[in-house]
Amino acid sequence: MMVLDLQCANEHFFEGWFGNSEAFYRQKGAGEIRCPVCDDNQINQVLSPVAIKRSPRFSKEEEAVDLAAGQVQQFYKFIEDNFEEVGTDFTKEALKMHYGVTDKRNIRGSSTTEEEKILKEEGVEFHKIPFPKKEN
């Protein structure tokens, strides 16, 4: 004997006892299984929750987001490791390099809109990137 969780077309749930799965399909095909609530014979087996449980593995989209986040982290790490932090002196330092006062190097820092205008007018190439504030 086996017990199956069944559902009628009106979404009533009930249990059915069968000798084997073959008997279930034969009775179902013949319309002999009826809902005890509404007597409907459009019966379907309710799949066990285990069978339809979502895989714990990441979906393709989640993997892509995860990968992108990792690349962003690597990017910021690269900037931190390879660019000297000059803070608010960014414009001054950038101009000094531009005019050969100091050797060219990678710097990072902050600049005001006014300062950015100057840099643009002087033809200094720079890039603005959103940089996350450190928590500590």
> Applying CB under 5 A, which residues contact Zn ion?
8, 10, 12, 35, 37-38, 40
Output the smallest distance, CB 22 to Zn ion, in A: 24
> Which residue, 40 or 116, is less far from Zn ion as judged by CB?
40
> Which residue, 36 or 87, is less far from Zn ion as judged by CB?
36
Output the smallest distance, CB 32 to Zn ion, in A: 15
> Which residue, 33 or 94, is less far from Zn ion as judged by CB?
33
> Which residue, 33 or 119, is less far from Zn ion as judged by CB?
33
Max intra-chain CA distance, the chain: 94
Output the smallest distance, CB 7 to Zn ion, in A: 8
Output the smallest distance, CB 18 to Zn ion, in A: 18
CA 50 to centroid of chain Cα atoms: 24
Rg of the Cα atoms in the chain: 34
